[in-house]
Amino acid sequence: MRFLHPELGWWALAIFGAVALLKWRVRWRFAAFTSILPLKRFPRRAALLRRAPFAILAIAAACTGVAFMDPVIPYSQADIQSRGLDIVILLDLSSSMQEEMGSSQASAAHKPPNTPPGPTRLDAVKNAVRRFVRARRDDRIGLVVFSDNPYVISPLTFDHEYLLHYVDMVDDKILQGEGQTAIGDGLALSDYVLYRQATPNSHGHQVIVLFTDGENNRGREPVDVMKEATAADIRVHMVGVDLESQVKEKPAVQTLVRAIVESGGRYFDATNERSLLAAEREIDSIEKGLLTSRVYVRDVPVFQWFAIPALIALAAAVALRSIPYFVDQT
């Protein structure tokens, strides 16, 4: 324990000493029967018990002085409970994510001619992720990216400003030299992040949100990883970012979507920014659960440890003064 304002302790000590000196130097008169005062065997000084109100008042003053010094515990553990989820955002950084949003055949057919270039698929996904994170204030959210290999950018955290800072840093330079789509490996690493940071209340409230514009072409089979996620009661939502029609029709992609839906997740087909934001809002409406996170807190105030006893002691001293035995002045 340390004090944020230790200098106030000297003032409190000086005041306490002055009051004690005044009490010692002043002789108080006591109520008594005058007919028996001359007797030599009768004690002329008051019993120590009658000084109890002053002693208790001194304790109250001492506790008040310590409370004014603003005592704190330098480091402490605290459990934060919130009505939320554990969510891992799994972001595809394959080379195709640098293409313009709406460049797929299905999207291009509805695009007016001579339209200026729009944001890339990655930029559109980052905008949706920012809105999603800001809307989920009670959730622990982490970020995993993948291309040839998966990487943890941020573990699960309540510090969403920290997370958004790293979302802003994600670009086409972060995984230079890679360009394929290892969806299965990305799901496996997301499962591991959720497992390592799980709390007793996390079971059944863990979610992976996958943003991808392609099919798995490297690493583990996503369907096999989905079985592990289902066994761990982890829901997976997949957002197909401007997926080409021929990609959607591939058996491997359809099998993955079917496995996601059967495990309690949802698939969203986002062909433009508007549908991508609609998918983000739909995922935002999923149910919530109770989460507990243990954090380390610095300089935890504990003045109440001294303020409450001071109030109790003051009340006790006042109560004793109402008893005739302790009334020491006529």
Higher local confidence (pLDDT), 67 or 77: 67
Q: What is the mean pLDDT of the chain?
A: 80
Amino acid code (one letter) for 326: F
Q: Which residue in 54, 65, 48, 60 sits closest to 14, CA to CA?
A: 65
User: CA angle, 206 as apex, 204 and 210 as ends, to 5°?
Assistant: 135
Q: Give the alpha-carbon dihedral of 248, 249, 251, 253, to 10 degrees.
A: 0
Calpha distance 268→285 (Å, rounded): 14
Calpha distance 305→21 (Å, rounded): 28
pTM of the model: 0.60
Q: At 300, give phi and psi (nearest 5°).
A: -80, 120
Cβ-count burial 156-181 (b if 16+ within 10 Å, e if not): bbbebeebbeebeebeeeebeebbbb
Question: How many CB atoms within 10 Å of residue 214?
Answer: 19
- How confident is the model over 134-171, as pLDDT tens digits? 888 888 999 999 999 999 999 999 899 999 999 999 88
Taken in order of first residue, the domains within the chain and their CATH numbers are 2-70+303-326 (no CATH), 79-97+119-294 (3.40.50.410)
Higher local confidence (pLDDT), 42 or 179: 179
User: Residues of the chain with pLDDT > 90: what percent?
Assistant: 25
Check if the beta carbon of residue 185 is closer than 8 Å to that of residue 223: no
